[in-house]
Structure 1
Amino acid sequence: MREVFQQELREVQERLVEISRLVVVAITNATTAFNESDVALAEQVIAEDSKIDALASDLDELAISIMALQQPVARDLRIVVSALRMSASLERMGDIAEHIAQLARYRYPDKVAKDSLLGVFSEMGALDVEVAEMLSRLIETEDLALADEIRDKDDRIDELHVSVFEAVLSETWAGTSVNTVDVTLASRYHERFADHAVSIAKKVKYLATGEWTGSGVR
C-alpha cells in the first residue's frame, strides 16, 4: 500500500507539471496575440483553456481520492492539500491567459494597447512568460532559487502595472473610455497572473523547507 501511495504522490506532481506547461503555452500565445493583434492565436488560447480546466479537475479528484483512501498525515498531507491549492491557482492562470486573449479578439484588428503603452505591455507579457516558465521548472525540480527569481520578476510587473495606472490618469492620456477600461483590465490580468505564480512558488518553498514566507495572492 505504501508503494501505491508514493506512486500516487508522484502522479500528483507529474500532473501539476503537465498543467503548468500548458499554462506556459497559454500565456505565451495570449501575450503574443495581445501585442501583435493575432486573432487566430487568440482564438487558439480561448479554445484550449478547457484542457487546463479538465486537467485541473482531474488532479483535484485524484487528490481528494488520496485523502479519502490513504488518509495521509504530516508532510504527505501537506503535499496533497498544497496540490489542490496549486491546481486552483494554475487553473486561474490559464483563465487569465484566456482573458488576455479575449481582449485581443474583441479589439481585432486594432491593438488593445496604443502606442504610448506598447512597450509596457510588451515587457509585462515577456515577464509573465518568464514567470510561467520558471514556475513550471520550480514545480518539477524544487529548485528554490527559481522561487526568488519569480518574486523579483513579480516586483517588476507590479511596477509596470502601476505605470499603466499613472498613464491613464495623467492629463496627457488621449485614450477613449473603452480604451482606458481595456488597458486597465489588461494590466490587471498581467499583474494577477504573476501574483498566482508567486503564491504557488511560496507553497513549493514551504513544502521543501517547512517555512512559510507570507500570505498568498494579494
Structure 2
Amino acid sequence: MREVFQQELQEVQERLVEIASLVAVSIENATRAFNESNVSLAEQVIADDDKIDELAINLDELAINILARQQPVARDLRIVVSALRISSSLERMGDMADHIAQLARYRFPDKVVPKSLRKTFVEMGQLDVEMARKLAELLRTEDVQLAEEIRNDDDRIDALHLSVFEKVLGETWKGGAEDTVDATLASRYHERFADHAVSIAKKVHYLATGDWVAPED
C-alpha cells in the first residue's frame, strides 16, 4: 500500500508539471498573439484553456481521492493539499493567458495597445513566459533557487505594470478610451499571471525547505 501511495504522489507531481508546461505554452502563444496581432494563435490559446481546465479538474479529483483513501499525514498531507491549491493557481494562470488572447482576437487586425506601450508589453510578456517556464521546472525539481528567481521576475513585472498606469494617466497620453481600457486590462492580466506564479513558488519552497518566509511578495 505504501508503494502505491508513493506512486500516486509521484503522479500528482507529474500532472502538476504537465499543467504548468501547458500554461507556459499558452502564455507564450498569448503574448505573441497580443504583440503580433496573430488571431490564429489567439484562437489556439482560447481553445487550449479548456484542456488546462480539464487537467486541473482531473488532478483535483485524484488529490481528493488520495485524501479519502490514504488519509496522509505530515509532509504527505501537505503535498496533497498543496497540489490542490497549486492546481487552482495554474488554472487561473491559464485564464490570464486566455484573457490576453481574447484581447488580441477582439482587436484584430489592429494591435491591442498604441505604439508607445508596445515595448513595455513585449517585456512583460517575455517575463511572464520566463516565469512560467521556471515554474514548470520548479515543480519538477523543487530547486528553490528557481523560486527566488520567480520572485525577482515578479518585481520587474510589478514595475512595468506601474509604468503602464503612469503612462495612461499621464498628460502626454494620446490614446482613446478603448486604448486606455485595453492597456489597463492587459497590464493587469500580465501582473496577475506573475502573482499566481509567485504564489505557487512559495508553496513549493515551503514543501522543499519547511520555511514559509521566502520568497516574499
Q: What band does the TM-score fall into relative to the shorter chain?
A: over 0.9
Aligned pairs for 1:185-204 within 5 A = 185-204=185-204
Residue 113 of structure 1: CA displacement?
1.3
Structure 2 gaps of 5+ residues are: none
Which residue of structure 2 lines up, in the alignment, with residue 54 of structure 1?
54
Aligned partner of 1:4 in structure 2 is 4
Aligned match of 1:86:
86
Give CA deviations for 1:154-210 in whole Å, capped at 9, x if unaligned.
000000000000000001111111110000000000000000000000000000111
Is the contact between residue 135 and residue 197 of structure 2 (CA under 8 Å) also seen in structure 1? Answer: yes
Partner Cα distance (2:10, 2:137) in 1 = 16
Aligned to 2:30: 30
Supply the distance in 2 between the matched residues of 1:215 and 1:77 (Cα, whole angstroms): 22
Equivalent position of 1:160 in the other structure: 160
CA shift in 2, pair 1:162/1:151, >3 Å: same
Residue equivalent to 2:44 = 44
- The alignment-based identity, stated in percent, is 73
The 3-state SS of whatever aligns with 2:72 is coil
- Aligned twin of 2:129: 129
Aligned to 2:212: 212
Q: List runs of 5+ in structure 1 lacking aligned partners.
A: none
Residue identity in the other structure for 2:87: S
Give 1:213 deviation, angstroms. 2.1
Moved over 6 A (4+): none
Q: CA offsets per residue over residues 18-53 of structure 1, 9 Å max, x none?
A: 000000100000000000000010001001111100
TM norm structure 1: 0.98
RMSD between superposed Cα atoms in Å:
1.2
Find the aligned partners of 1:28 and 1:9 in 2 and give their Cα distance: 29
CA distance in 2, matches of 1:168, 1:154: 21
Measured after TM superposition, the shift of residue 211 of structure 1 is 1.1
Letter in 2 for 1:96: M
Match of 2:74 in 1: 74
Name the SS of the counterpart of 1:172 in structure 2.
coil
Instruction: Give the structure 2 partner of residue 105 of structure 1.
Output: 105
Give the Cα–Cα distance (whole angstroms) in 2 for the partners of residues 215 and 99 of structure 1: 27
Which residue of structure 2 lines up, in the alignment, with residue 175 of structure 1? 175
2:112 partner SS: coil
